[in-house]
Amino acid sequence: MSLKLRIWRQADAADKGSMVTYQLQNVSPDMSFLEMLDVLNERLTLDGEDPVAFDHDCREGICGMCSLVINGVPHGPEKATTTCQLHMRHFTDGQTIDIEPWRAAAFPVVKDLVVDRRAFDKIIQAGGYISAPTGSAPDAHATPVPKADADLAFEAATCIGCGACVAACPNGSGMLFTAAKITHLGLLPQGQPERNTRVIDMINAHDEAGFGGCTNTGECTSVCPKGIPLETIARLNKDYRQALRAAS
Amino acid sequence: MAISGAALVLFLLLHMIGNLKIFFGAEAFDHYAHWLREIGAPLLPHSGFLWIQRVGLLVALAMHVWSAAVLTIRARKARPVKYAHRKPVQGSYAARTMRWGGVIVFLFVVYHILDLTTRTFNPVADTSQANAAVVQGFAPDRWYVTAFYVLAVLTLGFHLNHGIWSGLQTLGVSNARRERVLKGTAFAVAFVTCAGFLVVPFAVLTGLVK
């Protein structure tokens, strides 16, 4: 395959940045999207140019490091698929592919396609945890959890914190991420002691980080590589309402 | 957004049902318009209830616009650099047009009050003549009034379709099991409201209401 790539190049956070066009030949349809970028970077390096910086780690779709808005869609055209698991066979020979970083004030660009996602860590630090004695492992089944709750909690816990929800949201909101954590912990008995303070603190941290507000457009859930449902946001809203009532 | 929206939806439904009184004849409609001004009499003065309602609606509208403005400003700040290539994946047309749709509906409401409440733009100046004001207001030679009305009501329909469901989601009423039912309900309410409002000008145009 031969491709025309238009990639966002930005030297550092202070640089203005722009889309730069590259022609790439001999792309195998069996390459992953990131391997295609590796090929481009090899060529750029050999040519003495600065390779395109992009985030990646496990390349197995579970670490949440890869990002990239591909032709206007976070993680590209395949549903429930991370960029690293997206293969070039889903593109056509001669196609133009636009590659941009996540666009959000809370996720400033570090370089090229790499953004700083520490804003998510701040939300987690505000309440995305449980207080439990560490040390020896607790007995299995010491705390019974209904199967249905465990399944729903697990579904929410599959959130890898990649930030695609923010990238897709017309409001730049991180509500799906926050809601996934609220749902994950709120459904389990271990999450109950801090349930009320968690939702208030996490929402406050979310807003302080500069994310926008949720208007329920559902863009987030359609690009989520883990298919976190919009229902989690309703659950967050319900928890928030109950926490406000408990606080007053 | 959700609570003020709920108050406005409640008013819209009552307003729509009241409008349908026009199909019971000119006398019944004028009597209904007169009755609206006498609700609560003699405890309340003439038009007392209407003024209470107007103040309530203004407060709800102010809350609604304020919330929308806050969300819009936050959204702008949250994405200072726009995408070069942007494609909406799922968001419905209704969800994407909430802001401008709201502005169109607001402008229409301003016109609508000047037309049928203060009668500034209406050929019938006598405010006791409700039926005549509607019939002459939607007369075929004032087609542009009807066109604006239809546009505003359809915009309102889209606004309600997303807004009612979104409000229920915001209040935490929705969940996976209820999501389809609630979305269906929002569509049904939006559709019925649209139909109920649109049937009046078309009845005037076809001569069904004189």
The SS3 of residue A73 is strand
Strand, coil or helix: A169: coil
Please report where in the chains the tokens 């609206």 appear, as a residue: B36
Contact (Cβ atoms closer than 8 angstroms) between residue B100 and residue A231: no
A192: left (phi over 0), alpha (psi -120 to 50) or beta: alpha
3-state secondary structure of A192: coil
More confident residue, B89 or B136: B136
Q: pTM value?
A: 0.93
Asked whether the ipTM of the predicted complex exceeds the cut of 0.85, the reply is yes
Query: Cα dist. B147→A60, A119, B144, B202 in Å?
Result: 56, 48, 5, 11
Could you say which of A69, A105, A235 has the minimum Cβ distance to residue B83?
A69
Q: What is the DSSP string of chain B?
A: -HHHHHHHHHHHHHHHHHHGGGGG-HHHHHHHHHHHHHTTTTTSPTTHHHHHHHHHHHHHHHHHHHHHHHHHHHHHHH-SS--SS----S--HHHHTHHHHHHHHHHHHHHHHHHHTS-TT-S---TT-HHHHHHHHT-GGGHHHHHHHHHHHHHHHHHHHHHHHHHHHHTT---TTTHHHHHHHHHHHHHHHHHHHHHHHHHHHTTS--
Mutate to test the interface with A, among B169, B171, B173, B178 (most CBs of A within 10 A): B169
| Percentage with pLDDT > 90 across chain A | 94
3-state secondary structure A90-153: HCCCCCEEEEECCCECCECEEECCEECCHHHHHHHHHHCCCCCCCCCCCCCCCCCCCHHHHHHH
Cβ atoms < 10 Å from Cβ of A222: 20
Distance from CA of A141 to the nearest CA of B (A): 28
For residue B86, give the chain A residue with the closest CA. A72
Does the beta carbon of A193 lie under 8 angstroms from any beta carbon of chain B?
no
Beta carbons of A231 and B80 less than 8 Å apart? no
Residue appearing with tokens 């405010």: B127
In this structure, are residues A195 and A243 in contact, taking their beta carbons and an 8 Å threshold? yes
Is B163 within 8 Å of B101 (Cβ atoms)? no
**Residue B115 to residue B209: CA distance in whole angstroms:** 19
Task: Copy the structure tokens of residue A13.
Answer: 């956070």
pLDDT of B210 higher than 90: no
d(CA B60, CA B186): 20
pLDDT tens per residue, range B198-207: 999 999 999 9
pLDDT tens digits, residue range A87-132?
999 999 999 999 999 999 999 999 999 999 999 999 999 999 998 8
- Rounded mean pLDDT of A137-148? 87
Q: Which residues contact B28 (CB under 8 A, 6 or more apart)?
A: B21
Give the pLDDT confidence score for residue B61 in this predicted structure.
Answer: 97
Which A residues 94-123 touch B at CB under 8 Å?
98, 100, 103-106
Cβ-based burial of B139 (10 A; exposed 0-12, middle 13-18, buried ≥19): middle
- Quote the pLDDT of residue B89: 66
CB B201 within 8 A of CB B156: no
Q: A 3-32 residues with CB below 8 A of B?
A: 6, 8, 19
Calculate the average pLDDT of chain A.
96
Alpha-carbon span A82 to A60, nearest angstrom: 9
Question: Domains in chain A, start-ordered, CATH in brackets?
Answer: 3-110 (3.10.20.30), 117-130+143-247 (1.10.1060.10)
User: For testing the chain A interface, which of B1, B89, B177, B178 should be mutated: the one with the most A CBs within 10 Å?
Assistant: B89
> In whole angstroms, what is the distance from residue A239 CA to residue A244 CA?
9
CB of B130 closer than 8 Å to CB of B37: no
d(CA B183, CA B206): 34
For residues A231-238, average pLDDT: 96
User: For chain B, which residues make up each domain, given as ranges?
Assistant: 2-79+94-205
- pLDDT tier at A136, thresholds 50, 70, 90: confident
When pLDDT is averaged across residues B112-124 and rounded to a whole number, the result is 94
DSSP, collapsed to helix, strand or coil, labels residue A21 as: strand
What is the Cα–Cα distance from A7 to A218, expressed in whole angstroms? 27
Q: Which two tokens stand for residue B56?
A: 């309530």
What pLDDT band is residue B36 in, cutting at 50, 70 and 90? very high
